Amino acid sequence: MANQRPNPNEAFPNPKILSLCYIKNVVKNPRIIIGDYTYYDDVDGADQFEKHVTHFYDFIGDKLIIGKFCSIAKGVEFVMNGANHRMDCATTYPFYIMGGDWGSAIAPVKDELPLKGDTIIGNDVWIGQNVTVMPGVHIGDGAIIGTNSVVAKDIPPYAIAVGNPCRVVRKRFDDELIELLLKLRWWDKSIEEIESLLPLLSCGDLEKVKAELKSIMNPPKIETHKVVKFMVYDRMARKGSSAYSPKSHSAPHFEGHYVEGMEEWASHYCFNKKEDGSYEAELDEAWDEGSHYGGGTINVAIPKEWLDLTYDEFLERVITLAAAEHYGFTTDDLKEKNGLKEFFGFENK
């Protein structure tokens, strides 16, 4: 079945609720930058969001930047820097824009205007009905702005702020959970990852949320073995070629380094590539009945894909396979005996 998730590139994600609009798809001004899944809810025209960005003049060049997954209610107004008047003169009245003879009044240059910079709204922000956001304000990720508020100063992440002037009344969560959420940045993940997180993001048990986020952000360390890529030599390689081994052996080969207990299994071991392209493990002076030494050589075919295993995994499989072939028992027999060490009595050595 095809996935039925909302399309972030459609203006109205739910055709049954036309008051809700993904506004990145309807704004025309390139200086209004809006993230995926951010919506404006207005029964009087959700697709008219751009009308709620006022005093937005090209010659000033400021931007309105809104993150992803924000919820913006009806009646919002983003007042941009063009609304500001000079306050360093005897009057704040803008004679120069009134026309007529007044148009000859000295107009300020851009650097003389009290510009506040870009207005930036973070991700997962909820802005209530009839909120006014003043020029240059920054509202942090996860913040909530209460109805009818006038936001004239920055609001930190995951704060609840209300009033005129808008003030922080409390944090949404404790500092630890806020830090985890800011570190997670779930809104930047793929939509598949976000969907997998929905049960957690929608959970009201904050202690559970905190515990699971810790697990996600700080997974337990798993001890890993260094992967050793075995260099396999060709029996037919000529001296001087990269496939030739200088080892003193009847055929070019690679001798792996010893690991603890290896001397109990075989004095030497190597891995060869045969003329037919297959691979083999060769164990010299392998054990025999009654003695762990002087047993001659065991040759056993090995799958090519084993060369991608870690060193210890490769060695264990090769030795187990060789022992099974030499003695006529199966690898299942070794599993019952807890591996070769117990089988040969090396467990306590």
- The residues that are catalytic are 85
User: What backbone phi and psi angles, to 5 degrees, belong to 305?
Assistant: -65, -15
Buried (b) or exposed (e) across 234-272, using 16+ Cβ within 10 A?
A: beeeeeeeeeebeeebeebbbebeeeeeeebbbbbbbbb
39-41 and 71-72 beta bridge pairing: parallel
Output the six-digit token pair for 67: 């993150």
Query: Other C-beta atoms within 10 Å of 78: how many?
Result: 25
**Bridge partners, 72 (sequence order):** 40, 127
**The residue count for the chain:** 349
Q: Which residues contact 329 (CB under 8 A, 6 or more apart)?
A: 323
Between CA 168 and CA 133 the distance in angstroms is 15
Between CA 349 and CA 340 the distance in angstroms is 13
126-127 and 71-72 beta bridge pairing: parallel
167-171 and 254-255 beta bridge pairing: unpaired
Between CA 243 and CA 271 the distance in angstroms is 13
Query: Other C-beta atoms within 10 Å of 187: how many?
Result: 20
Contact 144, 161 (CB under 8 A): yes
